[in-house]
Chain A
Amino acid sequence: MTNLAPSQEQQGIAAASATFLAEQLPLTRVRELAAVPGGDAVDDATWRRCADLGWLALSLSEDAGGLGLGLAEEVMLFQQLGRRLAPGPFRSSVLGARVAARGGDAALATAIGEGRRRVGMRLGELVIDARPGDLLLELDETGGRLHDVETTERVEGVDPGTRFAKATTGAPVVRCDDVLLVARARVLLAAELLGITEAVRDMSADYARTRVQFGKAIGAFQAVKHRCADMAVAAYVTRAQLFQAALLVEAGTAQADFHAASAYLLAVQGAKRSTADNIQNHGGIGYTWEHDAHLYLKRALLLEHLLETSRATHRAVLAPARHEF
């Protein structure tokens, strides 16, 4: 039977990335970066350090300068990126490196993996985290394409950790036909969303243990306790389905698309509700700009809309004639 428990090595990836993010990219730093007019989501020095840790090349093959690991390892990393609301084009760069490698441009894949080229992402009429000279990832059911970004014009966006713009791009630099690329993207997004659900679960539980009203910690009240429990349930469900999907997508099985879309759907629903309930659990302070609760709400909103409409996910979930055992 499929083993869904992360190995020691996989847990090590999570622990090391959590430590690095806590030290180098805490939310206070994300807020500082967001306050710089016209500034990048993340500075070049930090981006290169993340690349040096191998974060952008975990699943690239060794001849493309990668570590030769798989989607399960990327999931461990992206869960932490989500949990810490890491700014910067991680998901699009990881997917972009894959497009370059599989599209036959190993040198470009290496450049992305080493953090020398960043890859932003198309989001409807807009692009996110793309600057002139960066690459832009376009993703659809057939695969992915990378374009050179020529010009950008900043648009104010709702998530402070993400830069939005209108952009002009050149012809595709490289393309790769891979029907499972969207499934791979769904898995990475689901991992980030799981990280968010876990973060607000812990944030709510911490607050509910210490905030006193009517002479007791508010976590003793069932209304609050049950909202926290719902977050724990959402995290458990999402984690199990996400790990399952990561393995099936990596192996390219016939059910990969279905399981990835299922993981993404559950991750979206869990994070959507948990980030909203987290604000309610905190009362007035949860509604302020100063408190971090809104940052999780907004990142979850981005991840819910990033890929395509929810209808495409539903189609993928309903596509198989029946559940295959």
Chain B
Amino acid sequence: MELDTSPQLKDFREEARTWLEENVPDESRPLSSGPEVREYDAAWQRRQYEGGWAGIDWKPEYGGRGLSLIEQVIWYEELVRARAPGPGIFSVAFGHAGPTLMARGDERQKTFHLPKILSGETPWCQGFSEPGAGSDLAGLRTRGVVDGDELVITGSKIWTSYAQWCDYGELLVRTDPEAAKHKGLTWLIMDMRLPGVDIRPITSIDGWPHNCEVFYDEVRVPLSSVVDRVDNGWSVAMSTLAAERGPGFLDQRLQLIVLVDELVDHARETGLIKDEAVADRLATARASAAALRSMAYYQVSTAKKGEAPGAETTAIRTFTVQMQLELTRLAIDILGARCLEWHPWTRRWLLDFAAPIAGGTTDIQKNIIGERVLGLPR
């Protein structure tokens, strides 16, 4: 344990802070379901890329800045501090696809895709879940049949976020139906514009089309789209999910700090902070928000070089989800009847019902902690 005193990192933070002060867009993200969503997210991503702030810890040969995870964490903190927009429809490209390609992709896949992700050219979506395969992901049935130098994909995926705006998808399909459940799967790069791909947006609880159902009808993709090997997709998917456990989504977690501060401000202005019950809950939320940062530092400090984050870091997501639900419900309670007028906090509260479900339910996360960290039986 040691407090950071490095002047280089202090300079880096100052530099980031200055750039953000001048470059964070004034207008907020459009709430429409049209192409302007992609335009907004892409423009912000491009601006960061041109300023030299995209892919801080990605290698320079792929368009990154080639610094360490530590600088990446500082950048995330400064983004949050500056109230900058999040990655929006680029979140899968940054948090999943990029890290997975870096870990498991071939050179051609890396040089083609990674710079396009960083420059805001190509957003990605994730096609893992299916109507019959949610928590039990390995039970997925979308088929991939090898035909010459192509794979022919047939089936359907669901909860594919932002598919309507995305160019590529990370797709997990069953290529060997005879093999055991976790074997015989393949992870591939799907071009979402190919013929036979039918994307149908699903309106979520907040009235906005966050997710899609996507149908694949004999879609032919070249075998060169397969990441790693045919039938080895489960292990590739596990690197994807490990990236999700890592600090990749830290900026989105740290956003909660901003929401807590907004709530504290509001409670101060309205005098609600004098209500002991409100003050108790706010204090818990704020302490938890501080812990989100500390956990990121702890995770980065204890990470073993070159190894995927351990199962114990699942605790971070479990805690974040729990805190998030308590926080957005507190926002509703603070608003009182005003919450009925589609206040931004109301939207946020509704949206957060996805938090303990998306990317693995809290129930499954707790099983993972129980079994892999504490050694409890399955």
Q: Which residues of A contact B (CB under 8 A)?
A: 1-7, 10, 72, 201, 205, 208-209, 216-217, 219-220, 222, 224-226, 228-230, 232-233, 236-241, 243-244, 246-248, 250-251, 258-259, 261-263, 265-266, 269, 310-311, 313-314, 317-318, 322-323, 325
Cβ of A225 and Cβ of B367 under 8 Å apart? yes
* Interface-centre pick from B9, B289, B315 (highest chain A CB count, 10 A): B315
Contact A237 B319 (CB under 8 A): yes
Distance between Cα atoms of A183 and B70 in the complex (Å): 28
* Smallest beta-carbon distance B222→chain A, Å: 42
The interface centre, meaning the residue of A6, A233, A322 with most chain B CB atoms within 10 A of its CB, is A233
Residues of chain B lying within 8 A (CB to CB) of residue A224: 376
Question: In the complex, what distance in Å separates the CA atom of A269 from the CA atom of B284?
Answer: 9
B363 at the binding interface (Cβ < 8 Å): yes
Residues of B within 8 A of A236 (CB): 295, 312, 315-316, 319
17 A-B contact pairs sorted by A residue (CB < 8 Å): A2-B2, A2-B297, A3-B4, A3-B297, A205-B375, A209-B375, A209-B377, A220-B376, A229-B365, A233-B322, A236-B295, A240-B299, A247-B3, A263-B287, A266-B291, A317-B283, A325-B78
CB–CB B294/A243 < 8 A: yes
> Which single member of A220, A229, A258 contacts B366 (CB below 8 Å)?
A229
Residues on the A chain within 8 Å of B4, using CB: 1-3
- A240/B294 contact (C-beta < 8 A), A2-B3, A314-B279 known: yes
B74 in the interface, Cβ–Cβ < 8 Å? yes
Docked complex: B349-378 residues within 8 A CB-CB of A: 363, 365-367, 369-371, 373-378
B101 within 8 A of A: no
Q: Are A323 and B291 in contact (CB under 8 A)?
A: no
Report A224 CB to chain B, min CB distance, Å: 8
Task: List, in ascending order, chain B residues with CB within 8 A of A269's CB.
Answer: 284
Distance, CA A240 to CA B3, complexed state (A): 14
Q: Which residue of A lies closest to B290 (CB)?
A: A262
A244 and B261 within 8 A (CB): no
CA distance A225 to B78 in the complex (A): 38
Distance of A124 from chain B, by nearest CB (Å): 20
Q: How far is the CB of A132 from chain B (nearest CB, A)?
A: 39
Whether B257 is near chain A, meaning CB under 8 Å from some CB there, is: yes
* B window 1-36: CB within 8 A of A: 1-4, 9
A230 touches B366 (CB 8 A): yes
What is the CA–CA distance of A232 and B375 in the complex, to the nearest angstrom? 12
The residue among B261, B284, B366 with the most chain A CB atoms within 10 A of its own CB is B366
Task: Flag B83-95 by CB within 8 Å of A: 1 or 0 each.
Answer: 0000000000000
Identify the 5 closest CB pairs spanning chains A and B, nearest first: A219-B376, A262-B287, A225-B370, A314-B283, A240-B298
Interface centre among A5, A239, A240, A244 (most CB of B within 10 A): A240
- Quote the shortest CB–CB distance from B272 to chain A (angstroms): 12
Give the chain B neighbours of A239 by CB distance below 8 A.
298
Could you list which residues of chain B lie within 8 angstroms of chain A, going by C-beta atoms? 1-4, 9, 70, 73-74, 77-78, 80-81, 257, 260-261, 264-265, 273, 276, 279-280, 282-284, 286-291, 293-295, 297-302, 312, 315-316, 318-319, 322, 363, 365-367, 369-371, 373-378
On chain B, the residues within 8 Å of A220 by CB distance are 376-378
Known: A2-B4, A226-B363, A262-B287. A232 touches B377 (CB 8 A): no
B67 to chain A, nearest CB (A): 12
Interface centre among B1, B319, B365 (most CB of A within 10 A): B1
Alpha-carbon distance between A311 and B275 when the two chains are bound, in angstroms: 12
**Interfacial chain A residues near B279, Cβ < 8 Å:** 311, 314, 318
| Given known A-B contacts A4-B298, A262-B286, A232 and B1 have beta carbons under 8 A apart | no
Q: Which A residues touch B373, using CB under 8 A? A: 229, 232
* CB proximity of B79 to chain A, nearest CB, Å: 10
CB–CB B294/A228 < 8 A: no
Identify which of B297, B302, B367, B375 gathers the most chain A CB atoms within 10 Å of its CB: B297
A297 to B288, CA, bound (A): 23
Knowing A209-B377, A241-B294, the reply to whether A5 touches B282 (Cβ < 8 A) is no
Enumerate chain A residues within 8 angstroms of B316, measured Cβ to Cβ: 236
Residue of A nearest to B322 (CB): A233
Q: Is the CB of A5 within 8 A of B298?
A: yes
The 8 Å CB contact of B1, one of A205, A233, A246, A313, is A246
Cα distance A248–B3 in the bound complex, in angstroms: 8
- Residue in A closest to B2 when the chains form the complex, CB atoms: A3
Which residue of A is nearest B316, CB measured? A236
When chains A and B are docked, how far (Å) is the Cα of A216 from the Cα of B369?
Answer: 19
With A232-B369, A266-B287, A318-B279 in contact, do A251 and B3 touch (Cβ < 8 Å)?
Answer: yes
By a CB distance below 8 angstroms, the chain B residues around A262 are 286-287, 290-291
Closest-CB distance, B279 to chain A (whole angstroms): 5
Residue among A2, A3, A209 with the highest chain B CB neighbour number at 10 A: A2
Q: A240-B295, A241-B290 are in contact. Are A6 and B366 (CB under 8 A)?
A: no
Q: Which residue of chain B lies nearest to A267 when distances are taken between CB atoms in the complex?
A: B287
Measured CB to CB, the closest approach of chain A to B88, in angstroms, equals 22
Q: Complex formed: what's the CA distance from A209 to B378 in Å? A: 10
Q: Is the CB of A314 within 8 A of B366?
A: no
CB-CB nearest in chain B for A318? B283
Q: Is the CB of A5 within 8 A of B302?
A: yes
Q: Which residues of B contact A263 (CB under 8 A)?
A: 287
When distances are taken between beta carbons in the complex, the residues of chain B under 8 Å from A265 are 283-284, 287
B301 and A3 within 8 A (CB): yes
Measured between C-beta atoms, what is the minimum distance from A161 to chain B in Å? 27
Quick one: which of B261, B298, B318 contacts A243, CB cutoff 8 A? B298
Q: Distance (Å) between the CB of A49 and the closest chain B CB?
A: 27
User: What residues on B are CB-neighbors of A318 within 8 Å?
Assistant: 264, 273, 279, 282-283, 286
Q: Which residues of A lie under 8 Å from residue B273 when comparing CB positions?
A: 318
Q: A219-B377, A220-B377, A229-B374 are in contact. Are A1 and B319 (CB under 8 A)?
A: no
Contact of A233 among B80, B257, B289, B369 (CB under 8 A): B369
The distance in angstroms between the C-alpha atoms of A237 and B322, with both chains bound, is 12
- A1 CB contact (under 8 Å) in B74, B295, B377, B378: B74
Chain B residues with CB below 8 A from A10, complex form = 1
A40 to B301, CA, bound (A): 42
Taking a contact as CB atoms under 8 Å apart, the answer to whether A325 and B81 are in contact is yes
CB nearest neighbor in A for B378: A220
CB-CB < 8 A to A266: which residues of B?
A: 287-288, 291
